[in-house]
Amino acid sequence: MSFDTRAGTRGARQPKGRVLRWANVLVSRRLQRGRSSKMMGVDALVLRTIGRKSGAERLTPVGWFQAADGSKLIVASAAGAASNPAWYYNLAAHPDRVSIDVGGETVQVRAEQLHGEERAEAWKLITTEAPRFTEYQEKTDRELPVIRLVPRD
């Protein structure tokens, strides 16, 4: 599956800055220690990607949803910003070099962007569990990417 979502022309201001980086580090540490598994009311994990330009490991806490097939779903919403979050581009560059920290364990995964009917089904599940994603979608003209994380052997 291809990672092909382009930036939009309108949207909310993308969260960024020193305070956000500090908060991400704090939340990531809590999640890695298995102390907390929720973030903004949904289950959370730490997404470990490889920077597409830097080659450095990047850690980002994100909310996740359980798919019917047992895989995990995440949304590259950036709170409804016009552009995709940086981690989306890292996944696109290295979809087989991804791992997640969830439940106190690190799991190697493969990232796949969902399209068509698969995305529609996943989107329905996500917006049922977390209606704020509908609000994020309304803020932007890009289709928010839904990514499936599948454990690797």
Q: CA dist 134 to 68, 72, 86, 99, 122, Å?
A: 20, 19, 21, 27, 13
- DSSP, collapsed to helix, strand or coil, labels residue 25 as helix
Residue 6 lies in a domain: no
**112 torsion bin: left (phi>0), alpha (psi -120 to 50), beta (else):** beta
Residues 113, 145 contacting (CB under 8 angstroms): yes
Identify the pLDDT of residue 5. Answer: 86
Which CATH number characterizes residue 46's domain?
2.30.110.10
Q: CA dist 45 to 15, 61, 75, 86, 114, Å?
A: 18, 6, 12, 17, 19
Identify the pLDDT of residue 30. Answer: 72
> For the chain, what is the domain count?
1
Identify the pLDDT of residue 153. Answer: 77
Residue 4 lies in a domain: no
Is 60 exceeded by the pLDDT of residue 1?
no
Residue 1 lies in a domain: no
Residue 142 lies in a domain: yes
Is 80 exceeded by the pLDDT of residue 21?
no
Identify the pLDDT of residue 103. Answer: 84
Residue 9 lies in a domain: no
Mean pLDDT of 12-36: 71
How far is Cα 84 from Cα 54, in angstroms, rounded to an integer? 18
Residue 5 lies in a domain: no
Residue 81 lies in a domain: yes
List CB contacts of 85: < 8 A, sequence separation 6 or more: 14, 60, 76, 77, 78
Domain range enclosing 104: 18-32+40-151
Lookup: tokens for 34: 């298995």
Mean pLDDT of 92-111: 94
pLDDT confidence band for 95 (50 / 70 / 90): very high
